[in-house]
A and B are shown apart, each in its own frame.
Chain A
């Protein structure tokens, strides 16, 4: 029992230390982003949008495939319940709301945490091991500005865009299944969707996506920057980055859903 309390206590202290370090990195990243964006020469050199392209093209197919399948699966599940009462016409509205408010931001963020967040940690961690980050510091180049800002800006722009596309794809998957297998007329599907879906639903999803992007970028980069050993620590840090980003995303999602709709 004593060991258990000790373990919990140590874990809590580590959590607080990590949290304060991530917040410090976030503050530093915002400051460096402002400096970089306001300096014309450095902005041109930094290729700020390079990561938007990289994240977008790398993950688009995966995100869209998962979203389409999710839209279909959600439709199948609800149709079982609504079949008894002949309420298939409620499907479009329910799917659109669930997808834009909750599922598209959450699923896209979890995919990106595993796909992109992990790659941030692995790349920066490997650079730490091979002394590239120390070399940057020795050349008086701020590693946060050089390595974190691009990734941060890239993810904050790319994740909401991917989330929006994921939302439309999931609705489209549901539309295809509903109109071909459940006999919902296409025009009815469209009308019901537009009747229920509010701008606020889409907007709240985008806000969530932007917050998740900050979480993934900060945790991914932080875990890379604190790699201390060799290849083994890069692996361990990458795993920890994915686990902590995913957990943080789920916790923040619950908090934000309660704040928006509670």
Chain B
């Protein structure tokens, strides 16, 4: 079982950061939140609707209200940057092509990449791809944007740029942001709420200050990133000597 008894609320117009160890169920949680995976039990409420009960096309109204920034961007490689951003608008609105073209420019301006509209995703750097993917996630002016490891694999400057973008989206546009990440410092800087997952459960939740002052040694190890602590470096369950002797 990857997740067990997870219970938390991400408040409207706030930034919620979820972090935990690698393989700790963060990506699974995100897939459940966007309706891509069904949990064996439990519910995910978006407003008053339990999205785990929705099937196929029933999820469409919910999905038109959310945006998702995938870890690798997940841009369509055969489409240009502009076409990628225009896609949700073309599919779900009756807007004229000229209006869509203006909207695409506006979204690209938001992420600082207006000059790159006609390039293919393959011609962009990792950081730029993520920014374009963010512009696409914002195409339909969503209420909630989910971020899967938005800063992983980026240089420190680009990571700061993305973190600032998340903060700006929330403060300026009132978008609810749910960010799944390893990046503790970034979370401490801009999060309204932090949820720490450990062994498939919620270990702690609260404001950055509350998390920082937590008495739990596991939480402290998470925050400081210390190699020594209750979370062991060794993932093996068997004693090393015993394992060598028995073979």
Contact = CB atoms under 8 A, between A and B. Distances in A.
Say whether A associates with B: yes
A132 B121 CA distance: 12
A140 B57 CA distance: 8
A141 B64 CA distance: 10
A133 to B, nearest CB: 9
A259 to B, nearest CB: 37
A254 to B, nearest CB: 38
Interface in A105-136: 127, 130-132, 134-135
Contact of B72 (A131, A137, A141): A131
A134 B68 CA distance: 10
Contact of B63 (A130, A132, A138): A138
Contacts of B71: 131
Nearest to A129: B72
Range of interface residues on A (Cβ < 8 Å): 10 to 19
A134 B36 contact: yes
A138 B36 contact: yes
Nearest to B36: A134
A45 interface: yes
Nearest to A138: B68
A140 B72 contact: no
Of B64, B66, B68, B94, most A-chain CB atoms within 10 Å: B68
B238 interface: no
A131 B64 contact: no
Interface stretch (B83-91, B198-206, B207-215): B83-91
Given A138-B34, A138-B63, A139-B87, A132 B77 contact: yes
Contact of A130 (B60, B72, B87, B90): B72
A45 B71 CA distance: 28
Nearest to A141: B91
B75 interface: yes
B89 to A, nearest CB: 10
A130 B72 CA distance: 7
Contacts of A138: 34, 36, 63, 66, 68
A131 B64 CA distance: 18
Contacts of A132: 74-77
Nearest to B76: A132
Contacts of A139: 63, 87-88, 91, 136
A93 B77 CA distance: 50
Contacts of A131: 70-72, 74
Contacts of B60: 140
B92 interface: yes
A127 B70 CA distance: 13
A140 B62 CA distance: 9
A134 B71 CA distance: 12
Contacts of A141: 87-88, 91
Interface string B108-143: 000000000000000000000000000010000000
Given A140-B59, A140-B60, A135 B91 contact: no
A135 B63 contact: no
Nearest to A41: B94
B64 A140 contact: yes
Nearest to B63: A140
A165 to B, nearest CB: 28
Nearest to A145: B91
A204 to B, nearest CB: 37
A138 B31 CA distance: 10
A134 B74 contact: yes
A135 B71 CA distance: 11
Contacts of B63: 137-140
B123 to A, nearest CB: 16
Interface string B45-70: 00000000000000110011010101
Of A132, A134, A138, most B-chain CB atoms within 10 Å: A138
Contacts of B88: 139-141
A130 B122 CA distance: 13
Of A45, A127, A131, most B-chain CB atoms within 10 Å: A131
A139 B91 CA distance: 9
Interface string A128-169: 001110110111110000000000000000000000000000
Of B60, B76, B90, most A-chain CB atoms within 10 Å: B76
6 contacts: A127-B76, A130-B74, A134-B70, A134-B74, A135-B68, A135-B75
Interface of B: 34, 36, 59-60, 63-64, 66, 68, 70-72, 74-77, 87-88, 90-92, 94, 136
Given A135-B75, A138-B63, 7 more contacts: A41-B94, A130-B77, A134-B74, A135-B70, A138-B34, A140-B91, A140-B92
